[in-house]
Copies of this chain bind each other. A is one copy, B any other.
Amino acid sequence: MDIDTSSLDEYLDDEGLDGYAVYADGDDSTQRYLSGFDAPDPFFTVYTPEETALLTSGLEYGRASREARGGVDRTSDYDYQSLREEYESGVARAKLQAAFLDAHGVDAVAVPETFPVGAADGLREEGVAIAVDSDGVVDDIRAVKTDAEIEHVREATVANEASMRACEDLLDAAEVRNGTLHYEDEPLTSERVATEIEVTLLEHGCALDETIVACGVDAADPHDRGSGPLEAGQPIIVDIFPRSKATGYHSDMTRTFVKGEASETVREWYELSQEAKEAAFDALEPGATGADVHAAACEVYEDAGYPTLREDPSTETGFIHSTGHGIGLDVHEAPSLSPRGEELEAGQIVTIEPGLYDPDHGGVRIEDIAVVTEDGYENFTDYPERLEL
């Protein structure tokens, strides 16, 4: 992968720092991005303008040497065993990491905001200067995707569409008895539909275990994953955000369905959300800000008389979240399409996902995923919008 780290080099130079350090396991996206390595236990990585170096246990050494983006040192290279015998574990670890940094000519490092305070305090005790990168310099680099990363997200999107199709087919095939969806003679639940989606994702090389299939009142809370039998005539929000098992990159898509006939309100919400999505996409281009894109979606809802968070920060109904977010190794990453969204650049991948919520009617959300291009954007999502099934 061909990462442009010139802004990181510039930041280190401006701040008088030698390198950028991460201490986390491979689930941490900054770790995985800088080291190119995925391990279940925390390991230490330092980036400098000259090299990237990892410090791992003997157990991880072989795999790290083959897979990592940089050189790999072993904890035994720094006589960790003796340190462990002489000092309590936190101190031993700090002395180990300080010796590793010293061996790579690093006295002063930037660390991400999420760097563990235990390790940071320990390194400070050993005389290493630690500066917290509160501007998210690496986050901003990660936000602009390489061609390979764009391809990874595109592949995850294809898997995502297959799982949405499996979901829609299942809802289509369901029968309504006494107002409740049934499938194979049993009430069809959120959990059953989520399993259908997640099994399909696995069969397409992707993983997710927090799928949202939220009906009725559940759908009025954007973070409620939904549970129990699905009801006819109520909006069902299906939000799927899988990670490719091979690459670690995500996709993200939401559709809203009603089994049977939607209420007039829900139909209006759906059409407004389609309009808001289109308005947001119309605003999406390099040079525009995330705030501009968010404003475009908000205006559609506000013009129709619905509250938005930017007009009323305390509202609990209406459009109560941001218009979208960057996506890559994390489901939520930079840039933000919200009132604080900064200038957008080509190569950033974002979701566009306006919606309306009210416990009296449920919720509606429609979400596509797109890459910002030199002259606008390319929408990766190729999936129909069909409200009533």
A interface residue numbers (CB < 8 A to B): 39-41, 58-60, 62-63, 76, 81, 84, 88-90, 111-121, 130, 132, 134, 191, 195, 198-199, 202-203, 205, 207, 209-210, 221-224, 243, 245, 313-314, 316, 320-321, 331-332, 340
Contact = CB atoms under 8 A, between A and B. Distances in A.
B116 A221 contact: no
A260 B312 CA distance: 69
Nearest to A133: B118
Given A115-B117, A121-B132, A202-B195, A41 B332 contact: yes
B118 A116 contact: no
B39 A223 contact: yes
A134 B88 CA distance: 10
Contacts of A113: 90, 116-119
Contacts of A222: 59
Closest 7 CB pairs of A and B: A113-B118, A207-B209, A117-B120, A90-B134, A114-B116, A117-B117, A115-B117
A63 B116 contact: no
Given A117-B113, A130-B117, A321 B221 contact: no
Contact of A332 (B40, B114, B245): B40
Contact of A209 (B76, B88, B223, B245): B245
A59 B318 CA distance: 12
A245 B202 CA distance: 16
Number of copies: 2
A199 B88 CA distance: 43
A117 B90 contact: no
A114 B117 CA distance: 6
A91 to B, nearest CB: 9
Contacts of A223: 39-40, 59-60, 63
Contacts of A112: 118
Contact of A132 (B63, B111, B115, B118): B118
A111 B58 CA distance: 30
A378 B263 CA distance: 55
A199 B209 contact: no
A184 B176 CA distance: 37
5 contacts: A39-B223, A40-B331, A89-B134, A111-B117, A114-B116
Given A202-B198, A222-B59, A313 B81 contact: yes
- Interface hub of A39, A59, A340 (most chain B Cβ within 10 A): A59
Contact of A63 (B121, B207, B224): B224
A313 B57 CA distance: 11
A170 to B, nearest CB: 14
Given A58-B320, A113-B116, A202-B202, 4 more contacts: A113-B117, A114-B118, A115-B117, A115-B118
Contact of A321 (B39, B59, B115): B59
A121 B121 CA distance: 10
Contact of A58 (B40, B76, B316): B316
A62 B221 contact: yes
A149 B288 CA distance: 50
A25 to B, nearest CB: 10
